[in-house]
Structure 1
Amino acid sequence: MVYIPSPAVAVVGRHNSGKTTLVERLIAELVARGLDVGSVKHHSHAGFDIDYPGKDSYRHRAAGARETVIAAPGQMACIKSIEGELECADIVRGMPGHDIVVVEGYRKSGLPTIEIMRAANESDARAASVFAEGARCGWPLGADFTQLARERVVVERGAYRAALGAGSLDTSACELAASGASDDVLGAPGEGDDRSLPSGIDCVDIVGKLPTASTVAVVTDIDEARRAAVSYGVPAFDPDDVRALADFLEQRFARPRVTVVIQAGGESRRMGRSKATVAFAGRPLICRLVERLAPAADELIITTNEPENLEFLKERYPEHGIRLVPDARTVRGALPGLYTALLAASNPYVAVVACDMVFASASLVVAESLAMNESGADAVVPSNKHGFEPFHALYRRAGCLPAVQAALDRGEKRAQAFFSEVNVCEFPQERVLEAEPMGGCFINANTPEELRSIEESFLGK
């Protein structure tokens, strides 16, 4: 089974901030758009149970089973006893194959987070004040805002008292004095209670519950929080504008729609026959490529100049709706082949894989697509000690098609001839191995001897 990781984003906030309501509405909106959505809810209290006495499954667990699966047509649940608490990243890793996973809670998970602050919630209002203060003071997003606020008060308290002692209170020397601050407001030296926070900030329980460097959006109806988010370059959304928030998540974080193109041009001189139909492990090599890459494909295209020899694929894999597409240009070469792939694709992201890459990886295609979302690049191209691997790479159709066409018009044939004209995100070997720990993604066979050697190695595993 091919492992397809699910991208995830967490909705975080303080108690009674409306996280569950927002997550519920957000999931409904994303599902209505046709996305496959998973969800995770963080329960902060130990000992919750979704099973109860009298049920057979409860009796299984009461008898000592550490893991019980309850299965019925169309539905399944698993109840498992574990030591401690799983990390959110581990939970999401155990939920492959979704277009997106929406997590409620898990602020410290390392996931991209959406911060919610509502004016009707008192602790949200206090958090918004700290957030706004941080923006006004230029504190970096992700800093301990409350601690910085305390440190600022220590300095300003000294300036304020010095001004009083000199008999000339200068408001430019102390912003707090300008707002009427006094010892009664600031607290006596050494006190560490809520009175030591500036500008009406009076709550210490929000430490660690403010926007961080992982914050990718703020959902709020509090004007100062919205302005603070904008000053940090973080988009802000109204709590009632779920469609706009869903647009943002779909464009930035959801697994994008990908066309996978397997290039099986035709007869190979070095192989002596078509690579697509040459036998590997007892069946045509192209079948192996289809089965390995289909899990990552919203559209599956095979470029070929021998469609009559590959028609059998449509009958063998009717669920994939395979399209057989001939070369768009009469000139042969790597770049013309890439042009055909981009021209034929219906989706914005196009993964192009050569049909002789025996260990081509759907997981790598998904990892590249998420990297493209994150980087905004026009092409995500794996690299290793041999250089770029343009035929297990991902291309943004809108950005690359014009550049490829221009390179062809200049007479270029090399696959990399247009790289200098687009934004290329290099995908290094370590990231390739994170996506596909087995490696070998770029191994290809050009001759019968090479294919036989790969086959012997494969069958020997």
Structure 2
Amino acid sequence: MIDIPSPAVAIVGRHNSGKTTLIEQLIAELRGRGLDVGSIKHHSHRGFDIDYPGKDSYRHRAAGATETVIAAPGQVARIKTVEEEVECSELVRSMPNHDIIVVEGYRKSGLPSIEIMRAGNEADCRAAALFVEAARAGLPLTTDFTQLGRAADKDASGASPTTYSAEADAAAKMPSSNTVAVVTDIPDAREAAALYGIPAFDLADVAGLADFLGEHYVRPRVSVVIQAGGESRRMGRSKATVPFAGRPLICRLVERLAPVADELIITTNEADNLGFLADEFPELAIKLVPDAYPERGALPGLYTALSAAENPYVAVVACDMVFASARLVVAEALAMHESGADVVAPANKHGFEPLHALYRKDTCAPAVHARTERGEKRVQSFFDDPDITVLPFAQERVLEAEPRGGCFINANTPEELARIEHSYLGE
């Protein structure tokens, strides 16, 4: 199984801000949209326990076990003794394969954070007043709000509308440079968010908040497209059905890439010859799509892939890449998500590898279509489009994702395929 890192956001606020209620509603909304949601709760007090005396698992730990797993059909729990508090980043890394993880607390984790401020909570009102004061003064979100509050408390002129007391130190838990949104019913907080250019949502607008997370933080869906085309002149037959290790080569590509595909497409002009894939992989719902253009060429083939895909990210791999890497697809998708690039393409001193690359559908499809209409055949011909951002994925990053390398090895002739097969079977 290929583990896909889970994106995470933190819901933060002061005591009694309503974090748990918001998270409960948000998880339900995201789940209702078909997303897989994980959650992490930060408990600030040492010594909490989810087990209790009398249970067998409690007796195991009381006897000295430092880690206990409780397993039942459909559920598993792990209780582990640790010397120090585990970093939030480590917890997130330990929870792969979720579309998003919603974290309660962990304000200092560095995660993108959503600040909740509720008018019914006195500490939130104080925080909102400090927040808007800083925003009106043009202070950055890196401001030390604790010091700002203390200065206001000492302002004998009464010019500041805010107060600060050591007893209510929750007011020092303020938005920061990690704050990406505010959820509030306090006018001061909404004004401050607007001044800082941060979106603000009403407490009841859970659907709007879910839309925001879906657009910016939920793991983007990836369509994986295997380009099988049709008969290859140099191979003398279809590359998709040529035998490799006793099975059609296309089966190997499907098995290697399916674990990271939210949608699996094969572009082919011989759908009848590949009909066996539906029986071979009934759980995958593989789509067989013919070429959109009668002309052969890598760029028209890419347009077919982008047109057929339903997801925002499209990974395109040639069917003769015997060692195509699902891990490389994951790494490219993460790089695209972090960088905002339109194309993430492996690159070395010889140039790009456009047939094991990732493309953003909504921006690349129009550019590829325009160049195809002009008669271009090479994929790289649209890389210089001023509206397209290309992120070269350096060789060291490829090897970091796939240490064994070999991702771009392809077979064009029976002799080349035989050599690759001999090497593969000899491993």
TM-score by length of 1: 0.83
Q: Aligned equivalents of 1:391 and 1:51: distance in 2?
A: 52
Q: Is contact 1:126–1:203 with CA below 8 Å preserved after alignment?
A: no
User: What percentage of residue pairs aligned between the two structures are identical?
Assistant: 72
* Counterpart for residue 199 of structure 2: 235
* Counterpart for residue 191 of structure 1: none
358, 362, 366: which one aligns with 1:394: 358
Q: Aligned equivalents of 2:278 and 2:197: distance in 1?
A: 48
Structure 1 counterpart of 2:162, one-letter code = G
* Counterpart for residue 18 of structure 2: 18
In the TM superposition, what whole-angstrom CA distance separates every residue of 1:188-243 from its partner, at most 9, and x where no partner exists? xxxxxxxxxx5424145358622222211111111111111111111111111101
* Counterpart for residue 273 of structure 2: 309
Structure 2 residue 166 is the aligned partner of structure 1 residue 200: no
- Deviation (angstroms), 1:9: 1.0
Describe the shift of the 1:433–1:333 C-alpha distance in structure 2 as closer, same or farther (beyond 3 A): same
1:340-379 aligned at under 5 Å gives the runs 340-379=304-343
- Deviation (angstroms), 1:374: 4.5
Structure 2 residue 118 is the aligned partner of structure 1 residue 118: yes
353, 374, 388: which one aligns with 1:423: 388
Describe the shift of the 1:281–1:110 C-alpha distance in structure 2 as closer, same or farther (beyond 3 A): farther
Q: Is contact 2:130–2:162 with CA below 8 Å preserved after alignment?
A: no
Q: Is contact 1:259–1:300 with CA below 8 Å preserved after alignment?
A: yes
Structure 2: gaps (5+ residues): none
Q: Aligned equivalents of 1:118 and 1:431: distance in 2?
A: 45
- Deviation (angstroms), 1:268: 3.2
* Counterpart for residue 6 of structure 2: 6
* Counterpart for residue 245 of structure 1: 209
Which range is displaced more, 375-384 or 327-336?
375-384
Q: Aligned equivalents of 1:363 and 1:203: distance in 2?
A: 52
1:127-146 aligned at under 5 Å gives the runs 127-146=127-146
In the TM superposition, what whole-angstrom CA distance separates every residue of 1:103-135 from its partner, at most 9, and x where no partner exists? 111112221111111121122122222221221
Structure 2 residue 109 is the aligned partner of structure 1 residue 109: yes
Q: Aligned equivalents of 1:180 and 1:82: distance in 2?
A: 49
Larger Rg: 1
* Counterpart for residue 407 of structure 1: 371
- Deviation (angstroms), 1:140: 1.8
* Counterpart for residue 66 of structure 1: 66
Q: Is contact 2:244–2:421 with CA below 8 Å preserved after alignment?
A: yes
- Deviation (angstroms), 1:3: 1.3
SS in 2 for 1:318: coil
* Counterpart for residue 94 of structure 2: 94
* Counterpart for residue 56 of structure 1: 56
Describe the shift of the 1:95–1:282 C-alpha distance in structure 2 as closer, same or farther (beyond 3 A): farther
1:120-199 aligned at under 5 Å gives the runs 120-147=120-147, 180=158, 198-199=160-161
Aligned residues: 423
Q: Aligned equivalents of 2:208 and 2:105: distance in 1?
A: 21
In the TM superposition, what whole-angstrom CA distance separates every residue of 1:293-320 from its partner, at most 9, and x where no partner exists? 2122222111122323322221111000
Q: Is contact 2:152–2:163 with CA below 8 Å preserved after alignment?
A: no
TM-score by length of 2: 0.89
SS in 1 for 2:71: strand
Alignment RMSD: 2.7
Structure 2 residue 256 is the aligned partner of structure 1 residue 292: yes
Structure 1 counterpart of 2:408, one-letter code = F
